[in-house]
Structure 1
C-alpha cells in the first residue's frame, strides 16, 4: 500500500514538473506562477502546494527532471575505468553539450532577476559538479597524469568549472554570437589536455 502511494506521489510530482516546464518555456521565470502551473497540470492550487512549497522549489524540480538523463551519463563517466584525463574531458563535454540541448530552459530562467533561494539551489548543483571535477583531478594526480605545476586538484576543479560555466553562460545569453557547440567543446578539450596533462607516451 505504501509503495503504491509512493509511486502515485512520484507520478504526480513528475506530471506537475512537466507542466511547470511547459509553462516556464512559454512565459519565462518571472511570469511563471503557481496558479498557471496548477491550471496546466490540471490540479488544484492546494494540491500543488502539497508537493512544492513555493515557485522556486517547483523550478528546481523542473531543472532536476530536465537533467536526469545527463546526470546518469555523468555518473557513468565518473566511474568508468578509463584514465582520469579522458574522463575529465568527457565530463566537460557532457556538461556543455547536455546544457546546450536544454538551452531554452536556461534562457527561460534568465527572463528576470533570480531570487536568492533559486540562486542558492543552482549554486549547490554547481558545487556538486565541481566536486566531480576535483575527484577526477585527484585521481589523475595519483596516477601521475597531471603536469607538474603545484596546483591542487581543488584549484584545478574550480578553474575548470569556471571555464565550463563561461561557455554555457555565453551560449545561453548570446547564442547568436557563438560558434557551433562542437567547436567550443573541441577547444575546451584541447585546453584541458594541454594545460594540465602529460603528453601521452
Structure 2
C-alpha cells in the first residue's frame, strides 16, 4: 500500500516534480550537511521512488550541478538587473563597477552554505557542469568589461581573459574560505576586489 501511495504522488507535472526534488535536496544539504546527502534520503523526503529521481537526474552529482546552475541563473538575473539600471554620467562606470562587485560578492557570501555543500560533494561530470555554469557569469562580466572599454572608461586588450581572471580570483578566495568553514569579512573582500578590478581595468577611479 505504501508503494501505491508513493506512486499516486508521482502525478505532478514533470517541471514541478523536478523543482520539488531540487528543493528537497537543497533543504537536506543545508540542514544535514553535504556528506549526509544521498539519493535515498532525497527520495524518502520527497516521497517518491528512486526510479522517479533517475527520470530527472543521472546521479546525485548531476543534481548538485543543477542546484548550482539554478543558483547562478538567479545570480545572473540579479546582476543583469543591476547592469540595466540607468548609469549616471558622473562618476559613471567606476561607480557602476563598484556596485556590481559589491552586489556579486554579498550575494555569493549570503549563499555560502549552499556553495560549500555543492562544491564539497560534486565530482567528475558534476564539476564540469559547475564550471560550465560559472562560465555564464564570466561571459556576462566579459561583456561588461568590453562595454566599459568601448565607452572609453577602461583600458584592457582582452576583456574575456581579463574577466575570467578577475572572477576566478575572487571565486577562488571565497571557495577556499567556505570549504574550511571560514567566514571572510565581506567589507574586506569587497574593498580588495574593487581595488584589484580598478587597477586591472585602469578605470578612472578616485
Shared fold, TM over 0.5: yes
- Distance change in 2, residues 1:173/1:37 (3 Å): same
Shift of 1:107: 2.2
CA pair 71-134 structure 1, distance change in 2 beyond 3 A: closer
d(CA) in 1 for partners of 2:130, 2:124: 10
TM-score (norm 2): 0.79
TM-score (norm 1): 0.80
Partner residue in 1 for 2:5: none
2:193 paired with 1:188 = yes
Partner Cα separation in structure 2 for residue 80 and residue 197 of structure 1: 23
The Cα of 1:59 is off from its aligned counterpart by: 1.4
Tell me, yes or no, if the aligned pair for 2:142 and 2:160 is still in contact at 8 Å: yes
**Structure 1 residue 103: deviation in Å?**
1.0
Change (3 A) 1:97 1:189: same
1:68 Cα offset (Å): 4.8
**Preserved CA contact (<8 Å) 1:100 1:171:** no
For the residue of structure 2 that corresponds to 1:151, the secondary structure is coil
Q: Deviations over 1:145-177 (max 9, x none)?
A: 114xx6321232122112221332133134547
What's 1:9 paired with? 14
- For structure 2, list consecutive stretches of 5 or more residues without a partner in the other structure: 1-11
| Distance in 2, Cα, partners of 1:177 & 1:10 | 35
1:171, 1:77 → 2: CA distance? 26
Give CA deviations for 1:91-115 in whole Å, capped at 9, x if unaligned.
3323221121111122223545x42
| TM-superposition CA deviations, 1:80-135 (whole Å, max 9, x none) | 342444444333323221121111122223545x4211110111012111111111
Aligned residues: 191
Alignment partner for residue 163 of structure 1, among 169, 181, 191? 169
Deviation string, structure 1 residues 37-90 (Cα, Å, up to 9, x no partner): 000111111222222222122112222344454232112123334244444433
Q: 2:45 matched to 1:40?
A: yes
The answer to whether the aligner puts 1:104 opposite 2:93 as a matched pair is no
